[in-house]
A and B are shown apart, each in its own frame.
Chain A
């Protein structure tokens, strides 16, 4: 089992540019999660899909951030008009089920906005 795959591993963008981050969950897992990790805030929940349907996006900044899951094998997190404060490691996780199941994390995408 390959684990959760995230691409790219590193991304550098200029202020105002768009960034798209990709996640391939573990095959057979029905739930996909996105988290953001920074030194100051630590690990923060962003959004969650179950069976490809968006369920909770309460952690997503309301402007500029969006997430999709067009099929069961990948999810994307898009950040429009990136700002320096968006610099962080973005982590994708998946789990077999939902309620209190273990989430398996990918290696993350390190985004740097200059």
Chain B
């Protein structure tokens, strides 16, 4: 069935260090891939999406490449900031239903 597996958290980093959150997905269809970010007391908000294989999405210094062969969509950022502390969700949709990973809680220390 459809599923998403991502790095289990929490992940704790110091400001200025690099981030990688691994994500792999499983589906028989042709998904659009997303990264969402959720702050306390808010709903998930779109970080970026990539509808096509082998393309890269990016926003606010975060980026991920849609690797169809490896069914992966790893999130990376070269230098994290304290304000990046949040929960990050890898997700996909085949048509209308969004399938989310379990989320990765990122803590960035000043």
Query: Which A residues touch B51, using CB under 8 A?
Result: 100
The answer to whether A107 and B41 touch (CB under 8 A), given A43-B89, A99-B95, A102-B49, is yes
Q: Summarize B's interface: helix, strand, loop or mixed.
A: loop
The answer to whether A105 and B41 touch (CB under 8 A), given A31-B96, A42-B102, A100-B93, is no
Total chain A interface residues with beta-carbon distance under 8 A: 24
Asked if A104 lies at the interface with its beta carbon under 8 angstroms from chain B, I say yes
A93's contact among B32, B42, B43, by CB below 8 Å, is which? B43
Q: Is the CB of B96 within 8 A of A107?
A: no
Interface residues on chain B, size class: 20 to 34
A56's contact among B32, B42, B96, by CB below 8 Å, is which? B96
In the complex, A31 Cα to B97 Cα: how many Å?
11
Query: Which B residues touch A55, using CB under 8 A?
Result: 96
Query: Which A residues touch B41, using CB under 8 A?
Result: 107
Q: Is the CB of B95 within 8 A of A104?
A: no
Query: Which A residues touch B100, using CB under 8 A?
Result: 42-43
In the complex, A34 Cα to B42 Cα: how many Å?
15
The answer to whether A98 and B102 touch (CB under 8 A), given A4-B43, A93-B43, A107-B43, is no
The 7 A-B pairs with the shortest beta carbon distances in the complex, nearest first, are A105-B43, A100-B32, A43-B100, A42-B102, A45-B97, A98-B96, A105-B44
Interface members, chain B 51-84 (any A CB < 8 Å): 51
